Amino acid sequence: MIRRRVNRGLLAACAIAFVAGARVLAAQHLLVPMDDEQRNHLKAYGLTYAALQRGEKGEWLLNYRGGAFLLGDTPASRRRAALDGIAVAPIDDGTLTAIRGEMAGGNMDAVPLEKAPRIAIYTPPTAQPWDDAVTLALDYAGIPYTRIWDPQVLQGKLAEFEWLHLFHEDFTGQFNKFHISYRGTPWFVNQVNRATADARQLGFANVPALKKAVAERIRAYVENGGFLFAMCGASETLELALAGSGVDIANSFADGSPVDPEADRRLDWSRAFATQGARLEPNGLVNAMSDIDGHQVNVPGRRRPLGTFTLFAFSAKLDPVPTMLVQDHRFVLPDYYGVTTSFTRSLLKPGTRILATVDGAPLAKYVHGTYGKGAYTFLGGHDPEDPQHEVGAPPTDLALYPTSPGYRLILNNVLFPSAQKKPRKT
């Protein structure tokens, strides 16, 4: 409610227009509204990113018109907005002053956007039989990124990036326990063979050992100031891999030995980012990793039905970081499954900020926190526009969902490292 659009009439004089459709006005700025006036929210992030990449400055107007962006009125931005169908409004200094006055009086604030972050996506070099929501979002928005995989992580290449994304990877090295359903399928056999060969080539006895080493590099990357965004199973299994650094947490099909019967007791949660005190699922034939995930989509007796989740409203002036991460034009969103769909709230560390809660359940959908000099964000679920996304399903065509509020959450994270953050005042 506190983020409701304020004084919508303010911009009546400078009606929203597709820039190519508007006459070139003597404007100094381009306002990119992110409320329901916007026709392509996802590409608006790409427009902003491209402006930063060209060395231009921008601002993120938190809680103003759905989290609008303010860019310089340059021919390049106008051209891109026109080509991509992004609604923008040219405004002059006078109008901007009025906007700032309006923002000063409400739960709104402007955060300078300084630099386009260098983005790494941790993804295997070969195609997987599922899509990656972040890759889809970045491709659609036209935001460049670099694919990296285990060898590059172990070579220390993470330091070259400001932002790292993890998606479906199982950092416990158990291949998401897909052996239960897919053990004979060619893609799964190839995946296991390839991962096992990679592990040996990189000097590890098995895949779980390799993935723990990778998890440790990721932990160090965040500790040293990197931004981590993890979705779906990567979030939960990264936590387990970090907490289980010195413990056998993988079933015998993955490393030849059963799970340490004392594993739960021996897990060191001080190493994990967001969670603590979780219990492993030791049964190799139960398709769940732990009790961190509250939905347990692949365990028939435990599967929780989908409902909705609600974004939390933060104070833009006092809490700009979480405010940035929840900028959206919808606050109640339909939920969607992933191998990890949600996070059990009672297992979150006290310092973990809950950005969205699953309605009617003691679960968080979206969490954030700082770790060392860096920060992490976990978003449960696989694909915001495909609630039941299954292995082998075709990738979502984002051209059909240009205003997707769920995908906006992902893209908020991409721009988040661009922001020159003010120190938190509370």
Q: Binding segment for another protein among 142-150, 212-220, 242-250, 266-274 (CB under 8 A)?
A: 142-150
Q: How far apart are CA 100 and CA 110, in angstroms?
A: 8
Q: How far apart are CA 415 and CA 325, in angstroms?
A: 9
For another protein, give the closer residue by CB, 41 or 179: 41
For another protein, give the closer residue by CB, 31 or 138: 138
Q: Do 68 and 61 touch, CB atoms closer than 8 A?
A: yes
Query: Binding of another protein at residue 399 (CB under 8 A)?
Result: yes
We find the least distance from the C-beta atom of residue 189 to another protein, in angstroms, to be: 27
CA distances from 333 to 113, 384, 404 (A): 27, 9, 10
Query: Binding of another protein at residue 54 (CB under 8 A)?
Result: no
Query: Binding of another protein at residue 151 (CB under 8 A)?
Result: no
CA distances from 364 to 147, 194, 281, 324, 346 (A): 29, 35, 20, 18, 10
Q: Do 112 and 57 touch, CB atoms closer than 8 A?
A: yes
Please give the sequence-ordered ranges of beta strands (E in DSSP) within 350-401, or none if there are none: 353-358, 363-371, 374-379
The tokens for 268 are: 């060191």
- Binding another protein by CB under 8 A: which of 74, 181, 201, 308? 308
Query: Binding of another protein at residue 161 (CB under 8 A)?
Result: no
- Binding another protein by CB under 8 A: which of 2, 20, 189, 197? 20
- Binding another protein by CB under 8 A: which of 146, 181, 201, 420? 146
The tokens for 284 are: 């190799």
Pair type for strands 87-91 and 17-18:
antiparallel
- Binding another protein by CB under 8 A: which of 74, 193, 224, 388? 388
E strand or H helix at 135? helix 133-141
- Binding another protein by CB under 8 A: which of 306, 313, 391, 393? 306
Q: Which of 49, 83, 92 is nearest to 69 (CA)?
A: 49
For another protein, give the closer residue by CB, 18 or 331: 18
E strand or H helix at 46? helix 41-53
Query: Binding of another protein at residue 248 (CB under 8 A)?
Result: no
E strand or H helix at 405? helix 405-415
Q: Total residues at the site for another protein (CB under 8 A)?
A: 28
For another protein, give the closer residue by CB, 82 or 192: 82
Q: How far apart are CA 367 and CA 169, in angstroms?
A: 19
Q: Binding segment for another protein among 30-38, 132-140, 345-353, 417-425 (CB under 8 A)?
A: 132-140
The tokens for 210 are: 């390799």
**What backbone phi and psi angles, to 5 degrees, belong to 92?**
-100, 180
Q: Is 309 helix (H, G, I), strand (E, B) or coil?
A: strand
Query: Binding of another protein at residue 85 (CB under 8 A)?
Result: yes
Query: Binding of another protein at residue 139 (CB under 8 A)?
Result: yes
Q: Binding segment for another protein among 185-193, 229-237, 301-309, 373-381 (CB under 8 A)?
A: 301-309
- Binding another protein by CB under 8 A: which of 60, 69, 122, 140? 140
We find the least distance from the C-beta atom of residue 167 to another protein, in angstroms, to be: 14
List the interface residues with another protein, window 86-125 (CB under 8 A).
121
List the interface residues with another protein, window 327-356 (CB under 8 A).
334, 336
- Binding another protein by CB under 8 A: which of 45, 64, 69, 145? 145
E strand or H helix at 126? none
For another protein, give the closer residue by CB, 271 or 303: 303
For another protein, give the closer residue by CB, 307 or 362: 307
We find the least distance from the C-beta atom of residue 18 to another protein, in angstroms, to be: 7
We find the least distance from the C-beta atom of residue 79 to another protein, in angstroms, to be: 7
Angle at 334 between CA 122 and CA 238, to 5 degrees: 30
Please give the sequence-ordered ranges of beta strands (E in DSSP) within 191-271, or none if there are none: 227-231
Q: Which of 342, 343, 332, 337 is nearest to 308 (CA)?
A: 332
Q: How far apart are CA 196 and CA 193, in angstroms?
A: 5
Query: Binding of another protein at residue 138 (CB under 8 A)?
Result: yes
Query: Binding of another protein at residue 307 (CB under 8 A)?
Result: yes
Binding site for another protein (CB under 8 A): 18, 20-21, 79, 82-85, 121, 135, 138-140, 142-147, 305-308, 334, 336, 387-388, 399
